[in-house]
């Protein structure tokens, strides 16, 4: 495994860096210390040609104003909290809404996506690791406890990108960290990148989280007989074509829903959550996680300009699979499918997600 470190631009009084890990086959991942974002990820197609499969920017300035959260680490709590407020441990916590007039999205202005992380590197023959650490004081984030987060990215010769989250707190708290990378297995090297609709998706879940018109959870429902039954491969465009007749797809303006994962975990505590296949390139992405859910977002609101490449990332040009607890679980604790991952002094949160890339 090879490691390359380079400047990625200025952030206020500090400097950002870009870290590239390249494996024996020429596959690579590029990660910046600003927001811990996955900037680029290149993997082979069925003919062995390596091309990037994630949306990213070439300058840290675009990550500073990254309201689409491209590639970013998200936390302490990913997704939405209704009313931008909650009660926890006998105390009330309130935030300034950052989605509409009443919703807290991705932990607000002082979450994992905002600011520089400290990085250390570990490179071995068949894998490389980037260990990102950062403190998140309660007075800044507004969440319970002074948090210390360590996120370890591991990239292997087998073309697997693993993300391990370790979060400590000095008092009872909770967290649901995730990563907001946008994928398109067609390859971003194409001059005219097709929408993800041509790709097939499987999500191994018997139930999903229903939402209202503001994307706030209202409960859970069986996927059977709905566009959310993705337990067998479904062409994404075929599911999206049902938006006009399906209230849930209307509410999300496409897929933007949490799936409550089924299936047994393996000896490492992980289970197969999802699989995406692009039959033309032969690329396959499998997602493994120990989290209870995964948010499938079909890029419904994606509209970001990549200044370096003079191109737009447009609606449904990429998709996200964000492993997580169900959104707004803090308001639904104890209900079926709404897990709350608590943290206490001496009992941190540990969670792992793996994106495995293969070919047909």
Active site residues: 180, 322
Terminal-to-terminal C-alpha distance of the chain: 25
Alpha helices in 115-195 (DSSP H): 138-141
| Residue keyed to tokens 């500073």 | 64
| Closest by CA position to 272, among listed 259, 293, 287 | 287
Distances (CA, A) of 358 to 99, 151, 322: 36, 24, 19
Torsion of CA 68, 71, 72, 73, to 10 degrees: 130
Task: Measure the CA angle with vertex 264, ends 130 and 295; round to 5°.
Answer: 55
> Rounded distance, CA 317 to CA 186, Å?
10
> Rounded distance, CA 103 to CA 202, Å?
29
> Rounded distance, CA 177 to CA 36, Å?
12
| Residue keyed to tokens 């070919």 | 359
| Closest by CA position to 19, among listed 35, 27, 9, 8 | 8
Q: What is the total residue count of the chain?
A: 360
């Amino acid at each position: 495994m090879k490691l390359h470190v380079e400047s990625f631009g200025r952030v206020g009084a500090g400097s950002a860096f870009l870290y590239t890990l390249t494996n024996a086959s020429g596959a690579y991942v590029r990660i910046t210390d600003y927001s811990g974002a996955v900037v680029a990820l290149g993997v082979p197609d069925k003919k062995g040609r390596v091309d990037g499969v994630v949306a990213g920017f070439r300058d840290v300035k675009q990550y500073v104003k990254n309201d689409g959260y491209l590639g970013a680490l998200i936390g302490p709590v990913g997704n939405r909290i209704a009313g931008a407020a909650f009660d926890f441990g006998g105390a009330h916590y309130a935030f300034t809404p950052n989605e509409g007039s009443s919703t807290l999205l991705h932990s607000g202005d002082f979450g994992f996506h905002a600011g520089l992380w400290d990085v250390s590197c570990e490179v071995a023959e068949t894998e490389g690791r980037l260990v990102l650490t950062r403190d998140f004081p309660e007075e800044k984030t507004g969440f319970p406890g002074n948090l210390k987060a360590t996120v370890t990215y591991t990239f292997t010769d087998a073309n697997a990108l693993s993300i391990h989250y370790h979060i400590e707190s000095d008092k009872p708290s909770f967290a649901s960290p995730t990563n907001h990378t946008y994928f398109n297995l067609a390859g971003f090297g194409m001059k005219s990148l097709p929408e993800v609709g041509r790709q097939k998706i499987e999500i191994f879940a018997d139930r999903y989280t229903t939402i209202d018109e503001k994307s706030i959870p209202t409960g859970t429902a069986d996927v059977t007989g709905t566009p959310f039954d993705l337990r067998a491969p479904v062409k994404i465009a075929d599911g999206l074509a049902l938006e006009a007749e399906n209230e849930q797809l209307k509410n999300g303006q496409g897929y933007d829903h949490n799936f409550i994962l089924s299936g047994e975990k393996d000896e490492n505590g992980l289970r197969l959550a999802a699989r995406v296949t692009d039959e033309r390139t032969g690329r396959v992405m499998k997602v493994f996680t120990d989290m209870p859910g995964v948010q499938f977002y079909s890029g419904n609101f994606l509209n970001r300009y990549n200044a370096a490449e003079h191109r737009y990332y447009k609606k449904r040009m990429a998709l996200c699979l964000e492993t997580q607890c169900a959104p707004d679980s803090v308001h639904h604790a104890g209900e079926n499918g709404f897990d709350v991952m608590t943290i206490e002094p001496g009992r941190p949160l540990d969670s792992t997600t793996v994106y495995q890339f293969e070919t047909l």
